[in-house]
Amino acid sequence: MLKDFEKSTPEDKSKLNDQIKALRAHLVAQQQRIREGKLPILVLIEGWSAAGKGSLIKELISEMDPRFYSVVSPAIQPESEARYPFLYPFAKAIPENGQVVFLDSGWMESAVRKKLRLEITQDEYKRRIRMINEFERQLRDGGYLVLKIFLHIGKQEQHQRLESLTSNPDTDWRVTKDDLWQHQEYAQFMKAYGDFMDKTQEAVPWQVLDGQRGKTAVRDALKLLVNKTDKALEKGRYIGEPFEEKFPLLSMPKLKDVDLSPCIPEEDYKKELKKLQARLADLHNKIYRKKIPVILCYEGWDAAGKGGNIRRVAYPLDPRGVDVHPIASPEPHELNRQYLWRFWTRLPRSGHICIFDRTWYGRVMVERLEGFCTEKDWQRAYNEINEFERQLTDWGAVLLKFWIHIDSDTQLARFTDRQNTPEKQWKITDEDWRNREKWPQYEVAVDEMIQKTSTKNAPWYIIESNDKKYARLKTLKIIIKALEKACDESFARQF
Amino acid sequence: MLKDFEKSTPEDKSKLNDQIKALRAHLVAQQQRIREGKLPILVLIEGWSAAGKGSLIKELISEMDPRFYSVVSPAIQPESEARYPFLYPFAKAIPENGQVVFLDSGWMESAVRKKLRLEITQDEYKRRIRMINEFERQLRDGGYLVLKIFLHIGKQEQHQRLESLTSNPDTDWRVTKDDLWQHQEYAQFMKAYGDFMDKTQEAVPWQVLDGQRGKTAVRDALKLLVNKTDKALEKGRYIGEPFEEKFPLLSMPKLKDVDLSPCIPEEDYKKELKKLQARLADLHNKIYRKKIPVILCYEGWDAAGKGGNIRRVAYPLDPRGVDVHPIASPEPHELNRQYLWRFWTRLPRSGHICIFDRTWYGRVMVERLEGFCTEKDWQRAYNEINEFERQLTDWGAVLLKFWIHIDSDTQLARFTDRQNTPEKQWKITDEDWRNREKWPQYEVAVDEMIQKTSTKNAPWYIIESNDKKYARLKTLKIIIKALEKACDESFARQF
């Protein structure tokens, strides 16, 4: 969709200025409505080096109140982000409800430049295109207004601008080797940007603006922002429809058909536990060296024994390389963003292990049953979660999901024990009893969840936990097997 | 205080195991009381390479519920943190109320190793010692329980451990060049650690534990943690006393004595504004290149014109190098930490500018007047803030503080105008009117604040803003002058 640049005729300057003034006033008046309407707006600005991305953003925000927007430049984020999935810095940067985030270069460069530099394979490039489309669609479906602008200039214009920057000692540093390389390979880049844009229009269309006429670009960008915002505010936050995507799913049993009788004698347990923990400690060294990220997800009935299970897994690990994230109800700043945001921001660095004590599956369990989201939201979530998890395993993560399972009688016995034991009383609340009453509804939701999200790359494991010791050993064995497989298969990763 | 290691006689193993078991049970029972008592606990573990810091932490947390603690390893934080003040990663890591944070190596190494490597001067080393004492005292005075453990092993023991690690291909990577260097220079390090410990006992004493006897160290660390926690819970959260520290203060006028008549004609304003903004844009390039961090603080009466002033300053700046932080009431996760935490975490990288729209001075204004903190808290805050700001300017930051000043009649006129203009109505709330009634109390608090915190390194500037245009130009001129001075004085910083 990107064409050779044709010089447009300059517009009447004073008319342009008037238009910009009027649009800015409109934007300022909109700010409060954006907040009240809880509309999150993400404006991605991409474009050629020296096309004036920074200046454009400057002009867009010049009259805005800093309480309503922020500018994020992921390009200057620390190198270490190379140890995270490539969408990580952008996922981290998404706005809160009622806020505008201007993103100065984003996921386009992480695909295009890396491809041209041969830092990623063609396959990886294609995967990134897919992930970007998923990411944009998920934001849109979650009620985000996403705008994507490409600031276009011709080769000759770029030449002049780079020359002018490099000839001034105070601005020379702004021109990087990468910029000069882009200029030399202008034609190549043109083709690559065009290809990228063609392939990433599924959820959010691109807008190409004329970077050679700065004021015209400002006017057009303001117009786009102001009009799209008006539309979004008028019709209320968009909520995406659920849709079918055919993930290859594993066949899983219903919870009621799971045999919960497995157990293990005390002395066997102790011996076995020690052996497995020692093995896991070894593997931790290996995955650290090979820079494999590991994500362990725990869900399960209250009092099923998640906590004790997690402790047995975490104990042999070097505490510097493992994080346990207990997931409680979201804080306000988390609630005000897309529901996966608080998990994106907690992902492990490559080579590290993280354990989620409760996970993003809250969306299709508690949020579904308590009405914290709409039916469309949780219906859509199965697919969104499958996509999210595929992004993680494509990144190279080992992702294991455990449903720690007990029957209702066992839960009652454990609740009663907690209630009657003073030092355990804090572990049992009225809410636990209320949730227990909803066991049948939860069972329906959990069954559906396990059916719909047991993908080959991120399977669910149902862990029989009427005997907690048996459950711990089974979990450890699954983790060990998965890590052994990953260590055997993988070369050491660069990051 | 660190002595050559004398081999201690081993203790009876089964007795030790029983003690550890009992202490762990005690710790588990304490967890809920720590949460209820809202006690934040920071446990710093330092020590020789291969002394077993990681294993010690592992043993301390092994029975704890992950909801109550986390382990932070600042040593493996991204390199980019070199672009922040040296205490930044530790300040970021402080626990929330009711949480325990185990810090695996911390500020000790940032002083000692850097000194021995000649990466910092003797003067900088002394400054760091001072900052560490300030930091620890501020935490303690703010109700934190801080524990500092040094895990000690002899040179011979270290030799064996390093050898055993390097001879196994799976653990070889754990030994860095730095570790080997430390081993070679064991005697030097011994002296340096001892010196450091002697000088950092002011607020929180060091505990040296026997790293050669792992179980003994675990028992002793547990005992320390459990006993200190019991004591802290028993007497309630400690609140530090205000104290005198002689910061060289500038002489400042009282607000009532400030002449608010200065103003500027419209056409002069426009011309001057453009000129000053152009100059500021130039300087932004320079400070970026020289990696000078810039922190601009705005406080002032409601409707004094802070927002418009900030916009005029931010407009000429490259949005990629500037952040405006509007400071509203703290979110729960902010309220649950020492009050400076939410500012520490918002500091600019070196070479960047950040603008605080309201600041940490909320402590001695709104928090003081609304009773959000105790009298001792805000009395202590003048010194704490002076120390904090000195840490920032010692780091190399340009720190300017503006009090945007108007008189009461002007505020009334602007409030009334906002009330009567539909598109401005959102800017005026009942709270603004309530605050206005407290003008006299605020004036007392602001006068006291300006008197007590106008230090030479971080002065207050009172900006006459009855005429907003005059105020904007004056602010711009002050900023320009300060940046020019900083650019002239400073060599390019390494980070």
Condensed to tens digits (0 to 9), the pLDDT of residues B339-358 reads 999 999 999 999 999 999 99
Do A421 and A324 lie in one domain? The reply is yes
Q: Write b or e for each residue in B473-484: b if 16 or more Cβ atoms lie within 10 A of its Cβ, otherwise e.
A: bbbbebbbebbe
**pLDDT beyond 70 at A16:** yes
- pLDDT value, residue B170: 83
pLDDT-derived band at A277 (thresholds 50, 70, 90) equals: very high
- pLDDT value, residue B75: 61
pLDDT-derived band at A169 (thresholds 50, 70, 90) equals: confident
Do B56 and B145 lie in one domain? The reply is yes
Q: Cα(B369)–Cα(A286) distance, rounded to whole angstroms?
A: 57
Residue A34 one-letter amino acid:
I
Query: Is residue B308 assigned to a domain?
Result: yes
Q: Report the share of chain A in percent with pLDDT over 70.
A: 97
H helices of B200-351, in order, are 214-235, 266-290, 306-314, 332-335, 341-344
Q: Which of B67, B80, B426 sits opposite A32 (nearest CB)?
A: B426
Listed range (A5-9, A147-151, A357-361, A471-475) with the worst mean pLDDT = A5-9
Do B350 and B413 lie in one domain? The reply is yes
CB contact under 8 A, A71 and B320: yes
**pLDDT beyond 90 at A145:** yes
> Tokens 């930044």 correspond to what residue?
B88
In A, which residues are within 8 Å of B307 by CB distance? 65-66
Residue A31 one-letter amino acid:
Q
CB contact under 8 A, A170 and B315: no
CB contact under 8 A, B310 and A282: no
- pLDDT value, residue A413: 97
Do A432 and A286 lie in one domain? The reply is yes
The nearest alpha carbon in chain A to B284 belongs to A170
The nearest alpha carbon in chain B to A315 belongs to B62
**pLDDT beyond 70 at A13:** yes
Mean pLDDT of B180-202: 96
Q: Cα(A134)–Cα(B492) distance, rounded to whole angstroms?
A: 44
Q: How far is CA A15 from CA A63, A208, A221, B422, in A?
A: 19, 22, 16, 27
Domain C-terminal end among B207, B235, B263: B235
Q: What is the mean pLDDT of chain A?
A: 93
In A, which residues are within 8 Å of B289 by CB distance? 170, 173
CB contact under 8 A, A355 and B78: no
A287–B contact, CB cutoff 8 A: no
Interface size between A and B, measured as CB pairs under 8 A: 116
Which A residues in the span 87-106 are in contact with B, Cβ-Cβ below 8 Å?
102, 104
**pLDDT beyond 90 at A423:** no
- pLDDT value, residue A495: 46
Q: Which of A54, A62, A80 sits opposite B311 (nearest CB)?
A: A62
Q: Which of B289, B333, B357 sits opposite A173 (nearest CB)?
A: B289
- Give SS3 for B47: strand
Residue from B31, B35, B67 to probe the interface with A (highest A Cβ count within 10 Å): B67
Q: What is the mean pLDDT of chain B?
A: 93
- pLDDT value, residue A241: 92
Q: How far is CA A490 from CA A395, A458, A479, in A?
A: 12, 17, 16
- pLDDT value, residue A80: 55
Q: Report the share of chain A in percent with pLDDT over 90.
A: 84
CB contact under 8 A, B331 and A326: no
Condensed to tens digits (0 to 9), the pLDDT of residues B443-454 reads 999 999 999 999
Q: Are B297 and B356 in contact (CB under 8 A)?
A: yes
CB contact under 8 A, A61 and B307: no
- pLDDT value, residue A77: 53
Do A293 and A213 lie in one domain? The reply is no
pLDDT-derived band at B409 (thresholds 50, 70, 90) equals: very high
Query: Is residue A262 assigned to a domain?
Result: yes
In B, which residues are within 8 Å of A65 by CB distance? 307, 326
In eight-state DSSP terms, residue A94 is P
pLDDT-derived band at A235 (thresholds 50, 70, 90) equals: confident
Query: Is residue A182 assigned to a domain?
Result: yes
Total domains present in chain B: 2
Do B225 and B318 lie in one domain? The reply is no
Condensed to tens digits (0 to 9), the pLDDT of residues A355-414 reads 999 999 999 999 999 999 999 999 999 999 999 999 999 999 999 999 999 999 999 999
In B, which residues are within 8 Å of A422 by CB distance? none
> What is the distance in angstroms between the Cα of A270 and the nearest Cα belonging to chain B?
16
Q: Which residues contact A488 (CB under 8 A, 6 or more apart)?
A: none
Of A266, A290, A246, A296, the closest CA to residue A402 belongs to: A296
Listed range (A390-399, B104-113, B277-286, B385-394) with the worst mean pLDDT = B104-113
In B, which residues are within 8 Å of A33 by CB distance? none
Residue A112 one-letter amino acid:
V
Residue from B59, B71, B424 to probe the interface with A (highest A Cβ count within 10 Å): B71
A332–B contact, CB cutoff 8 A: yes
Q: Cα(A298)–Cα(A460) distance, rounded to whole angstroms?
A: 10
Residue A44 one-letter amino acid:
L
Condensed to tens digits (0 to 9), the pLDDT of residues A313-342 reads 999 999 989 999 999 999 999 999 999 999
Query: Is residue B495 assigned to a domain?
Result: no
What are the phi and psi torsion angles at B481 (to 5°)? -60, -45
Do A117 and A264 lie in one domain? The reply is no
CATH number, domain containing residue A396 = 3.40.50.300
Q: Which of B67, B314, B355 sits opposite A326 (nearest CB)?
A: B67
In B, which residues are within 8 Å of A307 by CB distance? 65-66
The nearest alpha carbon in chain B to A287 belongs to B170
Of A308, A396, A287, the closest CA to residue A357 belongs to: A308
Complex-level ipTM beyond the 0.95 threshold: no
- pLDDT value, residue B495: 47
The nearest alpha carbon in chain A to B318 belongs to A54
> What is the distance in angstroms between the Cα of A232 and the nearest Cα belonging to chain B?
20
Which A residues in the span 220-279 are in contact with B, Cβ-Cβ below 8 Å?
none
Do A391 and A454 lie in one domain? The reply is yes
In A, which residues are within 8 Å of B315 by CB distance? 58, 62
Do B216 and B363 lie in one domain? The reply is no
Token digits for A397? Answer: 């993560």
In B, which residues are within 8 Å of A423 by CB distance? 29
Domain C-terminal end among A182, A200, A235: A235
Q: Write b or e for each residue in B10-36: b if 16 or more Cβ atoms lie within 10 A of its Cβ, otherwise e.
A: eeeeeebeebbeebbebbeebbbebbe
**pLDDT beyond 70 at A75:** no
Q: Which of B61, B326, B333 sits opposite A67 (nearest CB)?
A: B326
- pLDDT value, residue A238: 85
In A, which residues are within 8 Å of B311 by CB distance? 62-63, 66
> What is the distance in angstroms between the Cα of A61 and the nearest Cα belonging to chain B?
8
Angle between the A177-184 and A155-166 helix axes, to the nearest 10 degrees? 150
Q: Are A161 and A168 in contact (CB under 8 A)?
A: no
Do B204 and B167 lie in one domain? The reply is yes
**pLDDT beyond 70 at B81:** no
Condensed to tens digits (0 to 9), the pLDDT of residues B317-331 reads 999 899 999 999 999
A429–B contact, CB cutoff 8 A: no
Query: Is residue B250 assigned to a domain?
Result: no
Q: How far is CA A297 from CA A356, A483, B315, in A?
A: 5, 15, 46
In B, which residues are within 8 Å of A333 by CB distance? 331, 333
CB contact under 8 A, A170 and B285: yes
Residue from A71, A167, A286 to probe the interface with B (highest B Cβ count within 10 Å): A71
Query: Is residue B42 assigned to a domain?
Result: yes
Do B231 and B261 lie in one domain? The reply is no
Q: Write b or e for each residue in A34-54: b if 16 or more Cβ atoms lie within 10 A of its Cβ, otherwise e.
A: bbebebbbbbbbbbbbbbbbb
Write down how long chain B is: 495
In B, which residues are within 8 Å of A171 by CB distance? 285
Query: Is residue B244 assigned to a domain?
Result: no
- pLDDT value, residue B348: 95
What domain range is A288 assigned to?
A: 257-489
CB contact under 8 A, A66 and B170: no
Q: Which of A317, A318, A332 sits opposite B331 (nearest CB)?
A: A332
**pLDDT beyond 60 at B493:** no
Q: Which of A58, A170, A289 sits opposite B319 (nearest CB)?
A: A58
Query: Is residue B468 assigned to a domain?
Result: yes
Do B215 and B288 lie in one domain? The reply is no
In B, which residues are within 8 Å of A324 by CB distance? 66, 70
A422–B contact, CB cutoff 8 A: no
Condensed to tens digits (0 to 9), the pLDDT of residues B96-154 reads 999 999 999 889 988 999 899 888 899 999 999 999 999 999 999 999 999 999 999 99
